[in-house]
Structure 1
Amino acid sequence: MSATIQHADSTPLTMSGAEVVLRALKDQGVEVIFGYPGGAVLPIYDAIFQQNAIRHILVRHEQAAVHAAEGYARSTGKVGCVLVTSGPGATNAVTGLLDALMDSIPLVCLTGQVPTHLIGNDAFQEADTTGITRPATKHNYLVKRSDDLARVVHEAFHVARSGRPGPVVIDLPKDILINKAPYAEAPPASQPHRSYRPQAEPDMGQVRKAVALLKASKKPVVYAGGGVINAGPEASRLLTEFVHMTGFPCTNTLMGLGAFPSQDKQFIGMLGMHGTYEANLVMHGCDVMLNMGARFDDRVTGKLSHFSPGSKKIHADIDPSSINKNVKVDVPIVGDAARILAAMIQAWKEDTTPQDREALASWWRQIEEWRAKDCLRYVQQGKIIKPQHAVKRLYEITRESGRETYITTEVGQHQMWAAQYFGFEKPNRWMTSGGLGTMGYGLPAAMGVQIAHPDALVIDIAGEASILMNIQEMATLAQYRLPVKVFILNNEYMGMVRQWQELLHGGRYSESYSAALPDFVKLAESFHGVGLRATNADQLDDVIREMLATDRPVIADIAVAKDENCFPMIPSGAAHNEMILGPGQEGGVAGVTDEGKVLV
């Protein structure tokens, strides 16, 4: 399967294991490694010192290394690369690895390990890394033979990027890195792997069944997720073509934002727990649903027994294990999202069955009635800054700037407001922690995005609690002169926790107030950055413009209303037609209780 490089005299070309690893990374197209050194991986760091092909970014915490690689991977479509040492280095990376697994982000994480003869002896900084990371990775390896080293590295990249992407760990004992090892080139792309061959091409029979269902539909919807993003920009282009061709409404998951342009008239907003009124009611009332590259996550489906009752469901996904896992579907299609969409466009053109245009027009009239509720409406008045207004003005001012903009977020209310009020017209511009909901994700992810796109505007929309989880990465920004902007919606609370405590736990605010917060302006300055603050609405635009004009790392501390809640909201375990709406949203076509609960 592998070809060993040889000298002219036919003796195998060998080098140290560490050099083999770096050569394999280079051959796999790796340009950047995010890492933190330690004893077990010093042979790799010594090899890094002696080459110039691969850049190393020194983070301040191993969790941040993985999130940075996630941001790099999500914004480029490439495999992110991480290097950490044994023991605590590897265990610190676990949160990031599970985050990448949940959100299908392709990573290869190299972890150091004690020498092979000490494994199992409770040696200094020993951990059962493969055991610990097995449920947190797509696959992992422990290399015990030097002859396997190059093959394993190449295979890890194949596994990480193929099929449903995900993180792969390679655990590297120190003696394997020191000892001589043969180098083997990666097999050609045309040569299939001996055991891992994910299905990329869809079954045309299933595609035709799906098209026939969609053509006969009266109340259809296209529901697109992160799988469309992962399939590359062509998949998003094909999704837009298909939606325009059919005339159907389109909604995106949190991870799918940007797969379909937010300004398109057929876009009905994000769906799910904090999705729009119209998107959730469309999902509840549709008769045929096309799920393209999403996994029926519980934050999208709500109460499964009440999810989209009576509809026919088509599920197109690269991962066959996701199909019928949460929701039983009528037409499964396994394959790459771009190839499925291309096949569906072809099948749609070939199928001469006429659409029921009158029924579709009636469906759109109903959607427009729901859209007219303007569920994201808010009123900005007085000096206190509404968080929705802060995000919306950030969006509008960045659009005025005309710069290529990438957004990352931490996790909490600010994340949902960013999803609701910051529009995305292209894929790969939105990086957030969806499945795991990892606080501390946004700042290191922004760092990785900025490394990948040095001339772009990269903004981490943050909360004051979440940003402190990995605030040490401000030092990394300073070291590498990365002009990342941190835009904090500071309400002095763990906002989403406080919201749930208010709505579901009788207003008992147990341990959700962020006492003793730092002065973020001084904190930014202590990390060699720029600190800005807006305490009233009149200052907001000037602070945003100054932040965007500053060619250095910036923390903008935006003091927002402390008690603002994020609406609409589907309470955990409720159905799509049981949304809690915001103040002033009572009443409407579906009927709503005094508490703002929608009744359909």
Structure 2
Amino acid sequence: MQFTGAKIFVKSLLEEKVEKIFGYPGGAVLPIYDELYKADVEHILTRHEQGAIHAADGYARSTGKPGVCIATSGPGGTNLVTGLATAYMDSVPIVAFTGQVPTNMLGTDAFQEADITGITLPITKHNYLVQDLEELPRIIKEAFHIATTGRPGPVLIDLPKDIQIEKMEFEYPKEVNLTGYKPNYTGHDLQIKEAAELINEAEKPVIYAGGGAIASGAAEKLQELAKKAQIPTTTTLMGLGAFPETNELSLGMLGMHGTEQANHAVSESDLLIAIGSRFDDRVTGKLETFAEDAKIIHIDIDPAEISKRVLVDIPIVGDVKQVLNELNKKVDEQENKDWLGRVKKWKEESIIEQDSDDDILTPKKIINQIDELTNGEAFITTEVGQNQMWAAQYYKYTKPRSFMSSGGLGTMGYGFPAVLGVQLGHPEETTFCIAGDGSFQMNLQELATAVHYELPVNIAILNNNYLGMVRQWQEMFYEQRYSATCLKKRKSCPDDCSSPGEDCPEMVPDFVKLAESFGALGIRVAKVEEIKPALEKAIASDKPVVLDFIIEKENNVFPMVPPGGRIDNMLVGGDE
């Protein structure tokens, strides 16, 4: 029996056990949408293609399954670009499909034609332009294999319209054989042995875990290593949840806005065990001074990351989970009492561990209350900026795949669409997007999607009327010249205005009215005593809820390592 390319597309998704596809229709994908109309794959209609790919990303990060999205040709495809780059930087498995003009019109500047494979070549793990229907099943099989194996990442398939309507007999490949693509999963025995010896000899070891520890499912093995050898453990932003932050060995996050104990411990360590991490510049600060007295073990599945930024003493290329399984067999049980005592003192002195008793509404009070009411069990997404750092600092993540944020690319507008994908992947769980008033406005049209699918997501907006992190940098490094960061500013405002005053509009926009206009629930919170009842109401609601928390306009994120500085030389507020 013969099937059209569009039908083969749907059948191939079913072979890959795809349950949900996020997308937005258009002329170049109408044959596919006609098949999706009667398919056993749930299509989620977002209100923008960027919303579709960020939702697919959130679904992928939180479930471990590949996220799938579809867009039409031309602007549909180009609207996926930011989402592809976001997934590429953070190693997220996504398979994106785009429609394309018919093959005989390629290169003619036809209506809604864009060279999407050329455009996305640097920001995809691999991409395809299908020019022969017979290749389609193989290409789809390969795309899912490439996206989910080795170091995960996004793959794009461009489907011309004539390929979608041609017919042939369908048989889905049973296996993939790609010459030159053979990820190494097993670490070298000798290197693992040498790594164990270094761990057994170390007096001040630190584990530094990144997103690779989560992607490989290695959280349990990571915790086993830390417990057995009594090693304090820090994570990157992408690694949050890989090690429970309620564990006494947890140092929290390290880097530019990391905890004081994490940054001090890494700086004073004599052995740094890097697990599924890439020594990002926001982690290392001034590279020459990062863990300068430590020997370094680096475990990563991507050989290109080994010694890319920091020369390591023992490189181990392989799957983190498999490598840790072998390493744990060779590591001795230890106590490290003196080292852990020093770490404990740093924790006790940390400003993040302190809490103010005043009645000022602060991000810390808000996020601590979310943590308490959800028992640390919620799925959290964030936008980018101050809200992202506060969410990383104050919520206590206890399980992998519970924190979703744009790390490498720093994509404003990511968190809200992502939380929709998370909720669809975990319909019985509590989900929160912690957002800034600037970031949220970048994809707020997805409120329509949330209401359409009756998704009980909670959006906690930390509203300070500014592009908060940019304003913080302007305050600290540009003599408080708040250029283009006040979100209330009007043409009639004085040119030298540097802070919202009494004559400013009160709400820009009014997020409560905005939520209500979409059919969601809007709640404004301006006092500390209102935090808990508002959150309880939101968590109990069966519809999307927008919580507008009015925080101080010049609230800053601390600790902070000045750009280009040592990570143990932190600003902690006050007059600094």
- TM-score range (shorter-chain normalised) is over 0.9
1:279 — aligned with what?
262
Is the Cα contact below 8 Å between 2:435 and 2:461 reproduced in 1?
A: yes
SS, match of residue 268 in structure 1: strand
RMSD over aligned CA atoms reads: 1.4
Aligned pair partner of 1:514 in 487, 491, 504: 487
Which one-letter code corresponds to 1:78 in the other structure? K
Q: Distance in 2 between matches of 1:317 and 1:187?
A: 29
Q: How does 1:214-253 map to 2 (within 5 A)?
A: 214-232=199-217, 235-253=218-236
Which one-letter code corresponds to 2:371 in the other structure? Y
Q: Distance in 2 between matches of 1:16 and 1:461?
A: 44
Q: Answer with 201-210 or 92-101: which moved more.
A: 201-210
Is the Cα contact below 8 Å between 1:384 and 1:535 reproduced in 2?
A: no
1:336 and 2:319 equivalent?
yes
Q: How does 1:323-472 map to 2 (within 5 A)?
A: 323-348=306-331, 357=335, 360-377=336-353, 379-399=355-375, 404-472=377-445
Is the Cα contact below 8 Å between 1:17 and 1:180 reproduced in 2?
A: yes
- Percent identical pairs in the alignment equals 49
Which one-letter code corresponds to 1:24 in the other structure? S
Query: What is the CA-CA distance between 1:405 and the residue it aligns to?
Result: 1.6
CA separation of 1:71 and 1:160: change in aligned 2, threshold 3 A = same
Is the Cα contact below 8 Å between 1:432 and 1:442 reproduced in 2?
A: yes
1:529 — aligned with what?
520
Q: Distance in 2 between matches of 1:418 and 1:192?
A: 42
Is the Cα contact below 8 Å between 1:378 and 1:388 reproduced in 2?
A: no
Aligned pair partner of 2:164 in 177, 197, 200: 177
TM-score scaled by structure 1?
Answer: 0.91
2:35 — aligned with what?
47
1:204 — aligned with what?
189
Q: Distance in 1 between matches of 2:442 and 2:167?
A: 41
Q: Deviations over 1:492-519 (max 9, x none)?
A: 1111011111111111111111116111
2:153 — aligned with what?
166
2:468 — aligned with what?
495
Q: Distance in 2 between matches of 1:223 and 1:379?
A: 27
SS, match of residue 338 in structure 1: helix
Aligned pair partner of 1:82 in 61, 69, 75: 69
Q: Distance in 2 between matches of 1:336 and 1:70?
A: 22
1:480 and 2:453 equivalent?
yes
CA separation of 1:544 and 1:380: change in aligned 2, threshold 3 A = farther
- The answer for unaligned runs of 5 or more in structure 2 is 489-504
- The answer for unaligned runs of 5 or more in structure 1 is 1-12, 584-593, 596-600
1:108 — aligned with what?
95
Query: What is the CA-CA distance between 1:381 and the residue it aligns to?
Result: 4.8
Q: Distance in 2 between matches of 1:40 and 1:200?
A: 40
Q: Distance in 1 between matches of 2:261 and 2:487?
A: 35
Query: What is the CA-CA distance between 1:450 and the residue it aligns to?
Result: 0.7
Query: What is the CA-CA distance between 1:573 and the residue it aligns to?
Result: 1.0
Q: Distance in 2 between matches of 1:546 and 1:185?
A: 49
Is the Cα contact below 8 Å between 2:347 and 2:353 reproduced in 1?
A: no
1:17 — aligned with what?
5
2:499 — aligned with what?
none
Q: Distance in 1 between matches of 2:234 and 2:37?
A: 48
2:15 — aligned with what?
27
SS, match of residue 327 in structure 1: coil
Q: Distance in 2 between matches of 1:44 and 1:425?
A: 41
SS, match of residue 170 in structure 1: strand
TM-score scaled by structure 2?
Answer: 0.95
Q: How does 1:576-587 map to 2 (within 5 A)?
A: 576-583=567-574
Q: Distance in 2 between matches of 1:41 and 1:361?
A: 63
Q: Distance in 2 between matches of 1:376 and 1:208?
A: 38
1:297 and 2:284 equivalent?
no
Q: Distance in 1 between matches of 2:260 and 2:173?
A: 50
1:539 — aligned with what?
530
Which one-letter code corresponds to 2:258 in the other structure? G
1:3 — aligned with what?
none
Which one-letter code corresponds to 1:386 in the other structure? T
Query: What is the CA-CA distance between 1:362 and the residue it aligns to?
Result: 1.8
Q: Distance in 1 between matches of 2:314 and 2:265?
A: 20
Is the Cα contact below 8 Å between 2:454 and 2:542 reproduced in 1?
A: no
1:589 — aligned with what?
none
Aligned pair partner of 1:38 in 26, 31, 34: 26
Q: Distance in 2 between matches of 1:133 and 1:317?
A: 25
Which segments of structure 1 move beyond 4 Å, counting only runs of 4 or more? none
Query: What is the CA-CA distance between 1:382 and the residue it aligns to?
Result: 4.7
Which one-letter code corresponds to 2:190 in the other structure? G
SS, match of residue 486 in structure 1: strand
SS, match of residue 346 in structure 1: helix
Q: Answer with 569-578 or 131-140: which moved more.
A: 569-578
Is the Cα contact below 8 Å between 2:199 and 2:331 reproduced in 1?
A: no
Q: Distance in 1 between matches of 2:383 and 2:208?
A: 25
SS, match of residue 185 in structure 1: coil
Query: What is the CA-CA distance between 1:561 and the residue it aligns to?
Result: 1.1
SS, match of residue 553 in structure 2: coil
Q: Distance in 2 between matches of 1:217 and 1:195?
A: 38
Q: Distance in 2 between matches of 1:72 and 1:16?
A: 29
Q: Deviations over 1:270-311 (max 9, x none)?
A: 101110001001111111110000010100011111111121
Query: What is the CA-CA distance between 1:180 and the residue it aligns to?
Result: 1.1
Which one-letter code corresponds to 1:49 in the other structure? Y
Q: Distance in 2 between matches of 1:253 and 1:503?
A: 24
Is the Cα contact below 8 Å between 1:151 and 1:184 reproduced in 2?
A: no
Query: What is the CA-CA distance between 1:183 and the residue it aligns to?
Result: 2.3
Is the Cα contact below 8 Å between 2:146 and 2:155 reproduced in 1?
A: yes
Query: What is the CA-CA distance between 1:576 and the residue it aligns to?
Result: 1.2
Which one-letter code corresponds to 1:34 in the other structure? F
1:141 — aligned with what?
128
Which one-letter code corresponds to 1:549 in the other structure? A
**How many correspondences in the alignment?**
558
Aligned pair partner of 2:542 in 540, 551, 571: 551
SS, match of residue 331 in structure 2: helix
Which one-letter code corresponds to 1:396 in the other structure? E
Which one-letter code corresponds to 2:107 in the other structure? G
Q: How does 1:122-133 map to 2 (within 5 A)?
A: 122-133=109-120
Q: Answer with 207-216 or 32-41: which moved more.
A: 207-216
Q: Distance in 2 between matches of 1:382 and 1:231?
A: 43
Which one-letter code corresponds to 1:248 in the other structure? I
Query: What is the CA-CA distance between 1:194 and the residue it aligns to?
Result: 3.5
SS, match of residue 111 in structure 1: strand
Is the Cα contact below 8 Å between 1:387 and 1:561 reproduced in 2?
A: no
Query: What is the CA-CA distance between 1:383 and the residue it aligns to?
Result: 4.3
Q: Distance in 1 between matches of 2:180 and 2:34?
A: 34
Q: Deviations over 1:75-129 (max 9, x none)?
A: 1000000000000000000000000000000000001110001000000000010
Q: Deviations over 1:301-347 (max 9, x none)?
A: 11111111121101100111011111110111111111011011122
Aligned pair partner of 1:263 in 246, 265, 269: 246
